Amino acid sequence: MRRRLKLTMITALIALASTGCASNSTTGNKPANGESAPEGGKTSFSMSMATSGNKHAERSADVNTEKWVLKLEELTNTDLDIKMIPLKDFASKMSLLFASNDIPDVVQNVGGATSKGMSGSVESGIFMPLDDLLKEHAPNLMKAVPAEAWQETSYDGKIYGIPAWLSNPSRRALFIRTDLLEKTGLPAPKTVDEFLDVMRAMKKNGVEFPYQMRENFKYADTVMGAFDVLPSQFELQNGEVVPKFFDVENMSKALETYKTMYDEGLIPKDFASLTSSDYSKNNESGRSGMWSANAQLLPEVRGKLKNAVPDAKLDIIASPRGPENVGGHLLYSSINTSYYINSKVPKEKAISIIKFFEWMLTPEAETYFSFGIEGDTYTKESDGKIKFTPPTAPEAMDEDRFRSMFWFVHDMIYNKAREEMTEDGRDMMNFLDTVVSKEGLGTVRFSPALETFSKYPDASPLGDDVGPKLIIEHMVKMIYGKEPISDWPKVIEEYKKKGGLEIIKDATERYNNGEGVIVTENRK
C-alpha cells in the first residue's frame, strides 16, 4: 500500500512538471548529474539512518511518504526505502541490525568505519571498499572531503564510508552576555585571571551564574581547556600515550580555579548534577553571564534569550588562555556521520548510489536542503534571489530540520546559504571563521577505539568530550572540598591500578605501530 501511495504521488509530481508547474529540477529518467540513466530507470535502494532526535522524524508513521523524501527521489531519480532508527536506541538497534543479517543497501553510522556503532561490520567484510568507485564517479567528493575524514572512514588502507565532514573541527565556543560585560567596565578576558575578574564583577552586579556549569563538565570545560587537561584527551609524554590529566601541575591549577569559582558562587552550587536541559534554561532565561556551547547555536540562542531579556546582547569571544598559551575546547572528529554500501549490492547499483551522494554537493542540492520547494517554502525574485522566511513555530522548525537530515554528505560546519540571510547567521559564521577556528585542543585519537576501553569502562572516557567516570568523581569531590587537590597524584595511581596501565600500554603500542591513530595538534 505504501509503495502504491508513493508511486501515485510521484506520478502526480511528474505530471505537474510536464505542465510547467514544477521547478526546473531534474525529473523523469535523466539523473541529476547529467549522465545516462541506469538500466531500468530509477535506482531503488534501501537505507537505515538515525532520527538524530528530530521530533518530526520520530512522529512520522513512514518517512518514505513524506513530501521531502518524495521530492528528493524526484531530484535524484531514485526510489528510496528508508528505515529510521531512534537516536536513543541507535547503538542497540545497530547491533541488532548486523546480527539479523538483513542489512540495507546503505547504512548510516554516527561516527567512522570502525567506531562502536559499526560492531566490527567493516572488518568482517559486510561493506564494500569504495576507493575505485569514488575516484571514477564522485570526483567532487574526493576533492571536497578532508584527508582526516577519509582516514576515519577507512580500514586497512581502504575507504569504506562516505562522510559528512567538518572543514573546521573547532566548534565549541565561549558565549558571553556582552551587555553584562559592558556593565562591568572590563574588557573581554584573555587570561584565566581576567576570566575570574569578569565573573566576580558580574556577580557583584547581580548576575546569578557568571559562568554556567553542568554535569560531567560537558560543555563546561573552558578552564580545563586553558590548562590543556581535558580529561577525555590523550597526549605523548616521555614516550608513552597517556591521558592529559597526568599533567599534575596544570590539572591541579585547573581544579583550584574551579574550586575558587565554586567557593565564590561564580558557578551553580549544584553543577555536578545540573542536566543539559537545566543548563540550557539557565542560559536562555538570562541567568548566566558566560557559558560554552556549539557556535552554530548562536542565532537560535540569541532568539530565545531576547524573548526572555529583550535588551540582552550575546556574542562569542576567544576563550581564556592558560600558561602554555592555549585555550578553547576539544577539536572534534573530522566527521559527523558516514555512509556504507552493502557488499552484496551489484556494481551498477553501487555506482548509482555513489552518484546519489555526489549530487549532494551540487547547487541544486544546497538550495533544496536549505530552503525546500520553490512556491511552497520559498520563492524567487525576478533577479533570481531567494526569498525565504525561516519557520518559528516549533513543529515547523522540526520539519525544516527534518528535511536537512537528508543532506547526507556535505560540510557540516554551517549552512552558508541559510546563515548569510540573517545578521545573526552572518555573525555566527564570522565568529566561527575568525575566533573559534584559531583555538582548540588536539588529542591522540584511536579508530577503532582501544580494546582496553571496553575492558575497563570506569577508567575509559565516557565520550570524546567526557573523561572517565573515576576521574570525574574525584574532580567533583575536590571542587566541593571533600578531597584535597594535592591528592591528585594519588588519583593517577588509582587510575593506573583500575585499568589505566593497560590502557596506556594499549594506546602506546597502537601509536608506535601506527594502527588507526589520528593525531591533532593544539591550536595557538
Note whether 182 and 89 are same-domain residues.
Answer: no
> Among positive and negative, which fits the CA dihedral 119, 124, 128, 129?
positive
Note whether 13 and 149 are same-domain residues.
Answer: yes
Residue 21 within any structural domain of the chain: yes
Note whether 320 and 280 are same-domain residues.
Answer: yes
- Which of 368, 391, 415 finishes a domain? 368
Given strand 209-211, what is the order of strands in its sheet?
Answer: 209-211, 288-294, 172-177, 314-317
The CATH number assigned to the domain holding 354 equals: 3.40.190.10
What is the residue-averaged pLDDT of the chain? 90
pLDDT tens digits, 14-43:
333 333 333 333 333 334 343 334 445 899
pLDDT band at residue 90 using 50, 70 and 90 as cut-offs: confident
Contact at 8 Å (CB) between 502 and 455?
A: yes
Note whether 346 and 448 are same-domain residues.
Answer: no
Q: Indicate if the pLDDT at residue 485 is higher than 70.
A: yes
pLDDT band at residue 392 using 50, 70 and 90 as cut-offs: confident
Q: What is the mean pLDDT of residues 249-257?
A: 98
| pLDDT of res. 456 | 96
The three cell numbers of residue 364 are 541544486
**320: nearest Cα among 218, 186, 443:** 186
Q: What is the mean pLDDT of residues 175-200?
A: 98
Question: Taking each helix axis from N to C terminus, what angle separates 394-404 and 363-371, rounded to the nearest 10 degrees?
Answer: 160
Residue 91 within any structural domain of the chain: yes
Contact at 8 Å (CB) between 32 and 74?
A: no
Residue 241 within any structural domain of the chain: yes
pLDDT tens digits, 294-331:
999 999 899 999 999 999 999 999 999 999 999 999 99
Note whether 300 and 359 are same-domain residues.
Answer: no
Note whether 154 and 176 are same-domain residues.
Answer: no
Q: Indicate if the pLDDT at residue 8 is higher than 50.
A: no
Q: Indicate if the pLDDT at residue 244 is higher than 60.
A: yes
pLDDT tens digits, 436-483:
999 999 999 998 889 999 999 999 999 889 999 999 999 999 999 999
Note whether 188 and 291 are same-domain residues.
Answer: yes
Residue 434 within any structural domain of the chain: no
Residue 324 within any structural domain of the chain: yes
| pLDDT of res. 71 | 97
Beta strand spans in 27-99 (E)? 43-50, 78-85
**112: nearest Cα among 157, 164, 45:** 164
Note whether 72 and 54 are same-domain residues.
Answer: yes
Note whether 467 and 505 are same-domain residues.
Answer: yes
Full residue range of the structural domain in which residue 48 is found: 2-165+334-368
Cell numbers 562522510 correspond to what residue?
Answer: 163
Note whether 40 and 133 are same-domain residues.
Answer: yes
| pLDDT of res. 447 | 81
How many domains would you assign to the chain?
Answer: 2
Note whether 32 and 144 are same-domain residues.
Answer: yes
Give alpha helix (H) positions in 421-496.
423-434, 451-455, 469-479, 488-495
Contact at 8 Å (CB) between 145 and 369?
A: no
Note whether 15 and 150 are same-domain residues.
Answer: yes
**442: nearest Cα among 507, 520, 516, 511:** 520
Residue 89 within any structural domain of the chain: yes
